[in-house]
């Protein structure tokens, strides 16, 4: 009891204390303080987060206006399709099923033409297939009298199992994943729904027609309002990656060889770093390339691409480029080792390395040009020849290098220990390997040029027709 009383007193005293302090500060004090604290909280936590999100969102739109255009197109498509609800004659035609048109637009509309086409075709074909099958199963079920529920239940279970399983087969999944889902959905709705709905065929017909309306609106808007083609995006991606590889290669080698002499400059450094890191985009673009190639084959002819453009070849080119990027990733080893490599070693190999790396990057830039103009290259053979002679030269340099043995330490001539040469030797062998990998990339692009019937380079026709053939590379 005593303790209770005491605590009571204590509380009372505290409240008095609070009262006293309240009187001492201006009336608005605590409420103002709470208001300020709340304001601070809101400003710091919520507003700050929203502001960050908005800044982020703004930058995404500014970097790629096509995304904003896509959003506008979605809004437009939805507004168009909702006209079916507003206009009485149209609404009377399809009734409450107009809902399916809206749903189709929301689900099917994708940011590029290929994805939209693929989803539209999948949706329409799967709906028709599953709808007919569902009606057939429903008919069988009604004929079987008391076993109706059993027949429907079993067929739903079996078809759902089969369709879900097919989604695990990679070749099927790549093209018909969405179709399999729609198949399960429609089949269940029709066969199970048929148990309660009387005019099943009418319902199915109406649903197919509303889906047709939805898909046609999607296709119309996606193709005729600022179309974004998956194929064009893939083509540009590969082209940009060639430039990035070339920049990285030039940057890495130059950086390695000149690092000690040149003073670092903050702004320049950041730009150089961006260029040096370019190969990382190539390392990470496997998934994008594969999905784009899958979508691009749904697209009709557009720009300089025919309907049967060899999109799968881009995946092969991408794989070849990635192998070059692995080499570049490992060139960074040499950059890390840098402290160990004395200038005299660098000087000895510098010229030959720079020659090879610039010959290699010239080829990469020429490949980017080929992609950009969709033309065959007239000078590619010579560039490859140049690169191969640079490789030869570098190997010669290796053979003539004066390396200090343990016994010859007191010799007066300029010599290097193997330990000192190691980082440069790694650079050299990576550059040589990279040259070989670039050559396979050139072959992959040449194959694309043949498959896709790239035009001959006009320079070849007008200019030097009887130039001497480069000797075969050893």
> Backbone phi, then psi, for 455, in 5-degree steps?
-70, 155
409 lies in the site for a copy of itself, by CB under 8 A: no
Q: Which of 41, 47, 50, 72 binds a copy of itself (CB under 8 A)?
A: 72
> How many residues sit close enough to a copy of itself to count as binding (CB under 8 A)?
86
Touching a copy of itself, residues 91-110 (CB under 8 A): 91, 96, 99, 102-103, 106-107
**Residue with smaller CB distance to a copy of itself, 35 or 168:** 168
CA atoms within 13 Å, Cβ hemisphere of 393: 17
| Closest to 137 in 3D by CA, of 127, 150, 125 | 150
CB of 85 to a copy of itself, least distance (A): 5
- What mask of x and - would describe binding to a copy of itself in positions 157 to 186, judged by CB under 8 A? xx-xxx-xxx-xx-xx--------x--xx-
Closest CA to 204 of 188, 214, 190, 215: 190
Q: Please, which residue, 285 or 377, has the CB nearer to a copy of itself?
A: 285
Task: Identify the residue among 192, 243, 254, 315 touching a copy of itself (CB under 8 A).
Answer: 192
Cα distances from 465 to residues 381, 428, 450, in angstroms, run 14, 36, 20
Q: For the CB of residue 355, give the shortest distance to a copy of itself in the complex, in Å.
A: 18
User: Of the candidates 132, 142, 153, 470, which one interacts with a copy of itself according to CB under 8 A?
Assistant: 153
In degrees and rounded to multiples of 5, residue 117 shows phi and psi of -60, -50
**Residue 86 binds to a copy of itself (criterion: CB under 8 A):** yes
- Does position 188 bind a copy of itself by CB under 8 A? yes
Out of 128, 133, 174, 401, the only residue in the binding site for a copy of itself (CB under 8 A) is 401
Contacts (CB under 8 A) with a copy of itself, residues 130-149: 149
**Chosen residue from 3, 406, 465, 474 binding a copy of itself by CB under 8 A:** 406
Q: Does 195 bind a copy of itself (CB under 8 A)?
A: yes
The reply to whether 459 sits near a copy of itself by the rule CB under 8 A is: no
Smallest gap from Cβ 16 to a copy of itself, in A, equals: 41
Residues shown for the chain: 474
- Cβ 354 to a copy of itself, closest distance in Å? 19
- State the Rg of the chain over Cα: 34
119 vs 109: CA distance, rounded Å: 8
Kindly give the interhelix angle for 113-143 and 98-108, rounded to the nearest 10 degrees: 140
Neighbours of 316 (CB within 10 A): 19
214 closest CA partner among 296, 132, 97: 97
Place of tokens 């340099």: 397
The answer to whether the CB of 245 falls within 8 A of the CB of 324 is yes
Query: Which ranges of 452-463 does DSSP label H, i.e. alpha helix?
Result: 458-462
DSSP class of residue 338 equals G
Q: Of 114-122, 123-131, 252-260, 429-437, which segment contacts a copy of itself by CB under 8 A? A: 429-437
Q: Which is nearer to a copy of itself, 15 or 143 (CB)?
A: 143
The only residue of 216, 277, 372, 429 in contact with a copy of itself, by rule CB under 8 A:
429
Per CB under 8 A, contacts with a copy of itself among 302-361 are 323, 326-327, 329-330, 333, 336-337
Within 202-231, the residues that bind a copy of itself by CB under 8 A are none
- Rounded to the nearest 10°, the torsion over CA 125, 126, 130, 132 is -10
Min dist. Cβ of residue 409 to a copy of itself (A): 12
Segment near a copy of itself (CB under 8 A); pick from 53-61, 380-388, 443-451, 461-469: 53-61
- For residue 283, the tally of other CB atoms under 10 A from its CB is 14
Q: How far apart are the C-alpha atoms of 299 and 231, rounded to whole Å? A: 8
Per CB under 8 A, 469 contacts a copy of itself = no
Crossing angle of helices 286-296/113-143, nearest 10°?
A: 70
Pick the closer one to a copy of itself by CB: 21 or 395: 395
């Amino acid at each position: 009891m005593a303790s209770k009383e005491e605590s009571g007193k204590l509380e009372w005293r505290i409240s008095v204390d609070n009262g006293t302090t309240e009187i001492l500060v201006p009336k608005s004090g605590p409420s103002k303080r709470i208001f300020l604290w709340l304001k601070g909280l809101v400003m710091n936590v919520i507003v700050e987060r929203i502001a960050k999100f908005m800044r982020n969102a703004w930058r995404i739109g500014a970097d790629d206006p096509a995304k904003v255009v896509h959003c506008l197109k979605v809004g437009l498509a939805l507004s168009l399709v909702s006209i079916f609800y507003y206009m009485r004659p149209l609404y009377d035609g399809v009734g409450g099923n107009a809902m399916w048109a809206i749903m189709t637009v929301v689900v099917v509309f994708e940011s590029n033409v290929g994805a939209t086409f693929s989803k539209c075709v999948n949706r329409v074909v799967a709906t028709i297939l599953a709808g007919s099958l569902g009606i057939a199963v429903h008919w069988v079920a009604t004929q079987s009298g008391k076993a109706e529920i059993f027949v429907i239940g079993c067929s739903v279970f079996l078809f759902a199992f089969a369709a879900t399983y097919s989604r695990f087969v990679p070749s099927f999944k790549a093209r018909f994943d969405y179709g399999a889902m729609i198949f399960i959905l429609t089949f269940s709705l029709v066969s199970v729904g048929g148990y309660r709905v009387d005019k099943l065929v009418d319902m199915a017909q109406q649903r197919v027609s509303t889906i047709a309306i939805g898909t046609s609106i999607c296709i119309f808007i996606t193709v005729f309002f600022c179309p974004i083609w998956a194929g064009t995006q893939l083509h540009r991606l590969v082209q940009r990656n060639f430039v990035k590889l070339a920049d990285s290669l030039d940057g890495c080698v130059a950086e390695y060889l000149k690092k000690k002499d040149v003073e670092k400059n903050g702004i320049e450094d950041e730009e150089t770093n961006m260029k040096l890191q370019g190969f990382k985009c190539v390392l990470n673009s496997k998934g994008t390339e594969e999905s784009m190639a899958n979508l691009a084959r749904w697209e009709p002819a557009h720009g300089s691409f025919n309907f049967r453009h060899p999109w799968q070849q881009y995946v092969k080119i991408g794989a070849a480029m990635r192998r070059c990027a692995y080499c570049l990733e490992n060139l960074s080893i040499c950059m890390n080792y840098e402290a160990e490599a004395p200038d005299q070693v660098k000087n000895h190999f510098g010229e030959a390395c720079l020659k090879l790396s610039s010959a290699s990057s010239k080829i990469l830039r020429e490949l980017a040009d080929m992609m950009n103009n969709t033309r065959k290259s007239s000078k590619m053979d010579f560039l490859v020849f140049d690169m191969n002679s640079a490789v030869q030269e570098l190997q010669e340099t290796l053979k003539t290098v004066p390396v200090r043995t343990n016994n010859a330490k007191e010799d007066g001539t300029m010599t290097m220990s193997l330990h000192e040469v190691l980082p440069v030797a790694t650079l050299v062998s990576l550059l040589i390997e990279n040259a070989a990998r670039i050559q396979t990339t050139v072959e992959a692009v040449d194959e694309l040029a043949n498959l896709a019937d790239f035009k001959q380079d006009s320079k070849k026709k007008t200019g030097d027709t009887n130039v001497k053939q480069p000797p075969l590379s050893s």
